[in-house]
């Protein structure tokens, strides 16, 4: 039997979800620091407010949660079954906003990559993926 949270419990859980300094973001930041890459965080002046920015290199990294940004093919990216009138539209808006922000950044001459929450589980594979991005 499925347990349903009370509105107060649901609110408390949703408020606890962080926008910055998430566990996946901290993993990526530690990895970059270890690789000798210096960066700035959450550049408000750039489209989409990238999580990690290397201004001299004109590189930006978004660290996306698989659920919130609908990582295609990922088991973490399932649409919640509660409020079927709300979630699909909300997550689709997130996806479209991400697409627009990437397009704007690239038009401004920035190289952009997305690190997905699920990719932070295998840090060796993530490092192998990020090294070429950082070297370009």
Give the chain as a DSSP string. ------HHHHHHHHHT--SSS-HHHHHHHHHHHHTT---EE--TTSTT--SEEETTTTEEEEEE-TTTTT-TT-TT-PPPSS-TTTHHHHHHHHHHHHHHHHHHHHHTT-EEEEEEGGGGGSHHHHHHHHHHHHH-
What is the mean pLDDT of the segment spanning 72-87? 87
Of 45-59, 76-90, 98-112, which gets the smallest average pLDDT?
Answer: 76-90
**Confidence tier at 18 by pLDDT (50, 70, 90):** low
pLDDT at 78: 85
pLDDT at 35: 95
Architecture of domain 18-135: 3-Layer(aba) Sandwich (3.40)
pLDDT at 16: 61
pTM: 0.85
pLDDT at 101: 98
**Confidence tier at 133 by pLDDT (50, 70, 90):** very high
Q: Between 29 and 16, where is the model more confident?
A: 29
pLDDT at residue 7 greater than cutoff 50: yes
């Amino acid at each position: 039997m499925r347990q349903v949270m009370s509105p107060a419990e649901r609110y408390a859980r949703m408020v606890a979800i962080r926008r910055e300094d998430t566990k996946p973001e901290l993993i990526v930041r530690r990895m970059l620091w270890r690789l000798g890459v210096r960066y700035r965080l959450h550049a408000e002046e750039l489209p989409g407010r990238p999580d990690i920015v290397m201004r001299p290199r004109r590189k930006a990294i978004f660290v996306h949660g698989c659920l919130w940004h609908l990582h295609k093919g990922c088991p973490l990216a399932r649409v919640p079954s509660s409020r079927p009138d709300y979630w699909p539209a909300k997550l689709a808006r997130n996806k479209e906003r991400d697409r627009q922000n990437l397009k704007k950044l690239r038009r401004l001459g920035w190289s952009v990559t997305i690190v997905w929450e699920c990719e932070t589980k295998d840090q060796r594979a993530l490092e192998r993926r990020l090294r070429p991005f950082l070297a370009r």
